[in-house]
Amino acid sequence: MSNTSAPAVEARRLVKTYPGGVTALNGLEITVEPGTVFGLLGPNGAGKSTAVKILTTLARPDSGSATVAGHDVLRHPDRVRRAIGVVAQNSGADPVATGRDNLRLQGRLYGVRGAALDRRVDELLERFALSEAARRPVKGYSGGMRRRLDVALGLVHRPEVLFLDEPTTGLDPEARTAMWDEIGRLAGEEGLTILLTTHYLEEADRLAERVAIVDRGRIVVTGTPDSLKGELRGDAVHVELRTALGESGRVLLEGALGGLPGVHEVVFDGPRVSVRAEDGAAAVPALLGALERAGVAVATATVARPSLDDVYLRYAGRRYAEAESGTADALVLAGGAR
Ligand SMILES: Nc1ncnc2c1ncn2[C@@H]1O[C@H](COP(=O)(O)OP(=O)(O)OP(=O)(O)O)[C@@H](O)[C@H]1O
């Protein structure tokens, strides 16, 4: 059995380069305390799935080490596999079999049999609102039902650590909210450790007690969602310009805006200028005045409380949406990252 005071998941300096030279992990480090929900947040291609593959013994790192439920993933992969449940991005359910038969088969694979298996299957069908659909083939299930079955499949053998790889990708908003509620309940009720990967800022904010932001194969910052947002002093003020600025225009404005009282950080991002200000609403008139004096036409100005998007911008030096779509980095000019 694992030592309960030890971290549920610990990864040290994981490096993984795929054939063709793509460095998917570049020294990734994480520590997940038992009984918590930990969110690995990052844009597409950041390395989240590769990290999960290594932690669930499906891939080997080039270097580095990791333990899950107290077992070394390289030395004791069999012990790790018994201690974990894995819900991969693509459903592992057999579409031709019924929901109940899928759960029964999964249970048998893990050595659960007889009355204990029947009880566990009924319990999971009930819990994931699949009792009525239990005798229907999975191919007729909605996306939300399939996803709920996937999570149930990962739980049949009562794992210590559950890996959820992008649990709500592809779900409609209603099914996503239902899944969030279910993951929240799982974490609270069963004392299970959950490591989830996501590229939804809102999902990490809502579900994870601790979040690690992954960018280009390494962790750029870790903390509770609130502590990460709290590091960003004050509000974000976003000003949309009528046209994007050239390099010289940016440098000029960086001086003009960065010098305003209470303004800490100026980030140019295409036709958008974002600043951090102690009191966003109070800073808007001075900002607009400075932009007008510089001859820059403004379309809109908005004030926002700090979000994980702002945290990402600060640590990765580009907007989250841009990293997702793979466009050029934003330019952090003043009071930039770290
Ligand atoms: N089998 C593979 N062969 C070559 N390159 C790969 C392979 N798997 C992943 N990669 C590359 O490694 C990098 C990290 O991919 P990974 O799937 O771990 O990221 P991710 O954060 O999980 O992204 P996504 O959300 O799209 O799954 C990407 O550049 C990806 O193209």
Q: List, for residues 62-71, the tens digit of each pLDDT value.
A: 999 999 999 9
Residue whose CA is closest, atom 31 of ligand 1? 45
User: What pLDDT does residue 34 have?
Assistant: 93
Does 314 lie in the same domain as 211?
Answer: no
Poorest-pLDDT segment among 142-146, 171-175, 294-298, 327-331: 327-331
Does 217 lie in the same domain as 239?
Answer: no
User: What pLDDT does residue 329 have?
Assistant: 38
Residue 328 scores a pLDDT above 50: no
pTM: 0.80
Tell me, yes or no, whether 304 lies in a domain.
yes
Cα–ligand 1 centroid distance for 45 (angstroms): 5
- Pocket lined around ligand 1, Cβ cut-off 6 Å: 18, 20, 22, 24, 42, 44-50, 199
Tokens 């996306």 found at? 143
2-45 confidence digits (pLDDT tens): 445 689 999 999 999 999 989 999 999 999 999 999 999 988 88
Question: How far is 62 from 15, CA to CA, in rounded Å?
Answer: 6
Does 97 lie in the same domain as 61?
Answer: yes
Residue whose CA is closest, atom 29 of ligand 1? 45
Residue 330 scores a pLDDT above 60: no
Cα–ligand 1 centroid distance for 65 (angstroms): 20
Tell me, yes or no, whether 124 lies in a domain.
yes
CATH number of the domain bearing residue 102: 3.40.50.300
User: Of 155, 163, 207, 202, whose CA–CA distance to 183 is shortest?
Assistant: 207
User: What pLDDT does residue 334 have?
Assistant: 32
94, containing H or E segment: none
Question: How far is 45 from 49, CA to CA, in rounded Å?
Answer: 8
Do 12 and 64 contact (CB within 8 A), yes or no?
Answer: yes
Q: Which of 15, 17, 44 to mutate to test the pocket of ligand 1 (most atoms within 8 A of CB)?
A: 44
Which atom of ligand 1 lies at the shortest distance from residue 199's CA? 25
Does 249 lie in the same domain as 210?
Answer: no
Tell me, yes or no, whether 2 lies in a domain.
no
The number of domains in the chain is 2
Average pLDDT value for residue range 136-163: 94
Residue 336 scores a pLDDT above 80: no
Question: How far is 56 from 35, CA to CA, in rounded Å?
Answer: 18
Does 292 lie in the same domain as 197?
Answer: no
Does 106 lie in the same domain as 150?
Answer: yes
Does 154 lie in the same domain as 16?
Answer: yes
Tell me, yes or no, whether 260 lies in a domain.
yes
Does 246 lie in the same domain as 111?
Answer: no
Residue after which a domain boundary falls, among 211, 228, 245: 228
Does 189 lie in the same domain as 276?
Answer: no
State the pairing for strand pair 218-223/210-215.
antiparallel
Residue whose CA is closest, atom 12 of ligand 1? 24
Q: Which of 14, 17, 18, 164 to mutate to test the pocket of ligand 1 (most atoms within 8 A of CB)?
A: 18
Do 16 and 24 contact (CB within 8 A), yes or no?
Answer: yes
Tell me, yes or no, whether 3 lies in a domain.
no
Most confident of 83-87, 169-173, 242-246: 83-87
Residue whose CA is closest, atom 24 of ligand 1? 44
Bigger pLDDT: 4 vs 235: 235
User: Of 205, 204, 213, whose CA–CA distance to 305 is shortest?
Assistant: 205
Q: Which of 16, 23, 50 to mutate to test the pocket of ligand 1 (most atoms within 8 A of CB)?
A: 50
CATH number of the domain bearing residue 309: 3.30.70.2470
Does 270 lie in the same domain as 182?
Answer: no
Cα–ligand 1 centroid distance for 47 (angstroms): 6
Q: Which of 16, 25, 49 to mutate to test the pocket of ligand 1 (most atoms within 8 A of CB)?
A: 49
Bigger pLDDT: 331 vs 244: 244
Do 55 and 73 contact (CB within 8 A), yes or no?
Answer: yes
Does 221 lie in the same domain as 80?
Answer: yes
Cα–ligand 1 centroid distance for 44 (angstroms): 8
Tokens 């750029």 found at? 220
103-112 confidence digits (pLDDT tens): 999 999 999 9
Confidence of residue 324 (pLDDT cuts 50, 70, 90): confident
Average pLDDT value for residue range 225-244: 85
The mean predicted confidence, pLDDT, of the chain is: 88
Which atom of ligand 1 lies at the shortest distance from residue 89's CA? 27
Does 214 lie in the same domain as 286?
Answer: no
Residue after which a domain boundary falls, among 228, 255, 283: 228
Cα–ligand 1 centroid distance for 42 (angstroms): 12
Percent of the chain with pLDDT over 90: 58
Domain that holds residue 242: 232-334
What sign for the dihedral angle of Cα 16, 22, 27, 32? negative
273-290 confidence digits (pLDDT tens): 989 888 888 899 999 999
Average pLDDT value for residue range 146-155: 94
Q: C-alpha dihedral over 202, 203, 209, 212, to 10 degrees?
A: -80
Residue 94 scores a pLDDT above 60: yes
Tell me, yes or no, whether 4 lies in a domain.
no
Tell me, yes or no, whether 216 lies in a domain.
yes
Residue whose CA is closest, atom 2 of ligand 1? 18
Confidence of residue 218 (pLDDT cuts 50, 70, 90): very high
Residue after which a domain boundary falls, among 175, 208, 228: 228
Residue whose CA is closest, atom 3 of ligand 1? 18
